[in-house]
Amino acid sequence: MKDSSLTKRHAALVEQINEHDYAYYVLNKPKISDREYDRLFHELQELEKNHPELATPDSPTQRVGGRPLDEFQSVRHIVPMMSLDNTYSRNEVLAFINRVQRLVPDEKLEWLIEPKVDGVAVSLRYENGVLLQGATRGDGSTGDDITSNIKTIRSVPLRLKESVTARAPKINTPNDAQAELKFDETPDNTGVPNVLEVRGEVFMTIDGFQKLNYRRAEEGIEPFANPRNATAGSLKQLNPCITAGRPLGIVIYGVGYVEGMNTPQTQSSLIKWLATLGFKTPEKTWLCKVPSQIEVALNELDSLRHGFSYETDGAVIKLDSIPLRERIGYTARAPRWAIAYKFAAEQAETTLKNIFIQVGRTGVLTPVAELEPVSLSGSMISRATLHNEEDMRRKDVRIGDKVIIEKAGEVIPAVVEAVKDKRSGNEKEFVFPRNCPSCGAPVSRNMIKSTEGVAWRCMAADCPAQIKGRIEHWCSRDAMYIEGGGEKLIAQLVDKHLVRDVADLYALDVDTIAGLERMGVKSARNFINYLENSKNRDMYRVVYGLGILHVGLGTARILGRHFRSIDDLKNSDLNDLTQIADLGETIAESIITWFAQDSNRRLLEKLKNAGVNFESQLYADSGTIQSGALAGKTFVLTGSLPHLSRKEASEKIEQLGGKVSSSVSNNTDFVLAGEEAGSKLDKANQLGIKIINEQQFLEMCRE
């Protein structure tokens, strides 16, 4: 075949396969069999293998994932990706509508209702129709470059379609006699913009999530808590090949930036236009001409959303007119012209068959309800938390009760209440144990406080349940990030006496792991590789992973900035530690106590001999960050920020040379305040300390 023929055949294959991907993953209407699709794909792979010069950025072969990344690069959004204000109240939705109307009293407002996809917000940037970059929202101004992972999602077009007239989705109106359908015309031009940056939500299908968790359980890997967590974890994989194996999809609902083309002037027309470019858009939307139709639309969406392939937790209500949006504007954190209405947490009634006690890594005893399996949010639920003894007593929950359970984002659902009017008289009160159900040691009710009261705790350090919990914690993402170190694998390792502490992990080999139940050679090799990689984690992650009482990730980072190594930390005294701002005497005493125990010193020696890094890169960098934009400034955080988590804001401050304090004093330079700020804000006002919001903070970071 001559070069020109090769080029033509390659182009034809790319076009065919992209068209079949669009039909299958966007329209859900496959045109050919899987076997025929595989034949075309294999032909394309062979053609590019023999003639690498033919490979193009929009080739379907680019979806399978390239080499693993060392780290994600930062991407600055041309237009900030803002979050939405939200509410659970229909009355507050009406108040929002009235508030917007007062801003433009002479305008007739129309609203578009879209399903709120429970996923991860991303932006996609196309230049001359070809996908150039995918990024996470991050802090709204800057996100992570996840292009390699985005390309693995089959419903993401690698090249945009040029037609603007075909395949437009239907825009619905509420089931209301007075509702009328009306669109602005799609722009009278063809082709694609020179630059187009769209916004959307990546999700994991409900069915795919369940299958993925089943596979992980079979391999002894800890299941994901919910589809959103699974999606976030998939997009942050450094190895795109792992992401390629995850059942991800995307819904595109907006435009952030465009060059070289006029875009539609209403949201309803914009969605229609985005669909013609090849994007998967919201599968059902409602155009509401009067406020009363919004109520109807929300009810219709609530009844339909369980039939979607992805999870939805509410509706997004947007002003349809885009020019009016610009007049109405934005607050520091969100647009004034849109709001998210969240549906109430789903509940179900079932029978509480039994109550058992779960022992955590710190020895805390948590009661868990064993339930008659019941369907809730698309999953079969057989367990729910009762939090602690006080919570159980307050709700008067008994074995044999009919109970209401609720799922609102927790890892497992919670028991809300007992249905007392359905009691038969045969229900039994649960007697909370005074000995640990794992090791039999006496339990104590001091030292540990939960969010709802004082909790019982097993004090035996060699308790098998605590050992398992400590090892799981060591393997967790914020600690040593050892993929595969989940509950089922760790349970086998402890029960078979292969490990007794975290250091024993590093003596394991592939053959030992592969010989365990539901583990194969491939999974075993991956786990051993993660173990080896974990030896290079920074000191603060090691300190956090050790599970020292009261030492969270933030405290571990503080210690990493003040001590060159774990050996230096081990040899410090109470005076050394209490001199560090924000440490406090309780934390300092806990650290001293931990390092004073012979068993813990032996553990450290084993970890060092295994090759685990004890040196602090944060300490090494401490001299260089003094020149950062926030050098020498002390911040106190209070309330919920619109885009940044406490952890993200604290890390930004520390990376730019600043310091985060837990309490307001005369030494505080700024109080970074969000919604529901507490007493720290009052104290800042009393002391005359400058209070800033997130937008002001981000501007300081850029200086």
Active-site residue numbers? 116
Q: Containing H/E element for 500? A: none
- Say how far residue 128 (Cα) sits from the centre of its chain: 32
Neighbour tally for 81: CB within 10 Å: 22
Instruction: Write out the two tokens for 138.
Output: 């991050």
Both tokens of 543, joined, read 């300190």
DSSP string, 640-690: B-SS--HHHHHHHHHHTT-EEESS--TT--EEEE-BT--HHHHHHHHHT-E
Give the pairing type, strands 379-385 and 248-259: unpaired
Alpha-carbon dihedral of residues 292, 295, 296, 301, nearest 10 degrees? Answer: 150
Contact 113, 285 (CB under 8 A): yes
Distance CA 449, CA 442 (A): 18
User: Reduced to 3 states, what is the DSSP secondary structure of residue 315?
Assistant: strand
Which tokens sit at 344? 């109430």
Helix, strand, or coil (residue 418):
strand
Question: CB burial class (10 A; 0-12, 13-18, 19+) of residue 564?
Answer: middle
C-alpha 94/C-alpha 596 separation (Å) is 61
For the chain, give the number of residues.
Answer: 703
Q: Which two tokens stand for residue 500?
A: 């007794």
- The whole-angstrom separation of Cα 577 and Cα 260 is 59
Pairing of strands 142-144, 74-76: antiparallel
Output the six-digit token pair for 506.
């590093």
Q: CB burial class (10 A; 0-12, 13-18, 19+) of residue 49?
A: exposed
Where does 27-121 have alpha helices with state H?
Answer: 34-50, 90-103
Q: Which two structure tokens, joined as six digits, stand for 144?
A: 């992570």
Phi, psi dihedrals of residue 496, rounded to the nearest 5°: -90, 10
User: What does DSSP assign to residue 539?
Assistant: H
Six-digit token string for 670 = 């700024």
Contact between residue 184 and residue 154 where contact means Cβ atoms under 8 Å apart: no
Distance CA 408, CA 503 (A): 37
633: closest CA among 535, 572, 703?
703
Please state, in angstroms and rounded to a whole number, the distance separating the CA atoms of residues 361 and 549.
10
- What is the Cβ-side half-sphere exposure of residue 410, based on CA atoms within 13 angstroms? 18
